[in-house]
Amino acid sequence: MFLEKLSDKPSPRNTKILLICSLILYIIVAPILNYYFTISNYPVSFFESQLSFSGATIKSHLRTMTSSEIDLYRTAQIIDYLYMLAYGTFWFSLSLYISRKFDAVTAWRKTGYISAIFGVIAACCDATENVFILLMLTDPRGFPDLWAISHSFFALVKFILMGLIFIWVIVAVVTLLIKKFNKG
């Protein structure tokens, strides 16, 4: 099965390298992304926009922006692809690293592999979501409402997966700490 391959691929060394590199990329890209999002003057938070499920709502947001602000917002969406690479790789490698701390035949190991895959799927959902944003920006006042609904659907799946990953990581780390404390 595919998940079983994650027990040794990528290698533990390469998993650590992925974890460190993704963290460095995140630290570099996050402020740049936030800068472009901020100077674009997008009128609401990205949560509010991404989960609106409404073409009319997003069109009303975009109507408040100048064409140069829309260009800055478009630039933020393009930079976001590097951010996705960073967090997708981070969650994948962190989940994999933690899961390998558990015995091979445990549910913790298997659910950790699933968490790792969720990190990649979340980033792919984000990438698809951004395709719809970029499409909407080609005609900010007249794009099909289905694009906004699709955009929000992929955002919702992304947020659910990231929430599940976050919960798994916290519970797994606490479990490992309890095991370590009980042994020592």
Give the span between the Cα atoms of 102 and 43, in whole angstroms.
45
CA distance 88 to 79: 14
- 18 Cβ contact list (under 8 Å, min separation 6): 10, 89, 92, 93
The model's pLDDT over 17-50, given as tens digits with 9 standing for 90+, comes to 999 999 999 999 999 999 999 999 999 998 899 9
Cα(13)–Cα(155) distance, integer angstroms? 32
How is residue 166 written in tokens?
């976050």
Q: What pLDDT shows up at residue 4? A: 84
Cβ proximity of 135 and 62 under 8 Å: no
pLDDT score at 183: 84
Report residues of the chain scoring pLDDT below 70: 1, 184
pLDDT for res 46: 85
Q: How far apart are CA 85 and CA 29, in angstroms?
A: 10
Quick one: how far is CA 93 from the chain centroid? 13
Q: Name residues whose C-beta falls within 8 Å of residue 135's C-beta, 6 or more positions apart in sequence.
A: 143, 147
The reported pLDDT for the residue numbered 2 is 79
**Residue 87, C-beta contacts closer than 8 angstroms, at least 6 positions apart:** 22, 26, 119, 122, 123, 162
Would you state the pLDDT for residue 184? 67
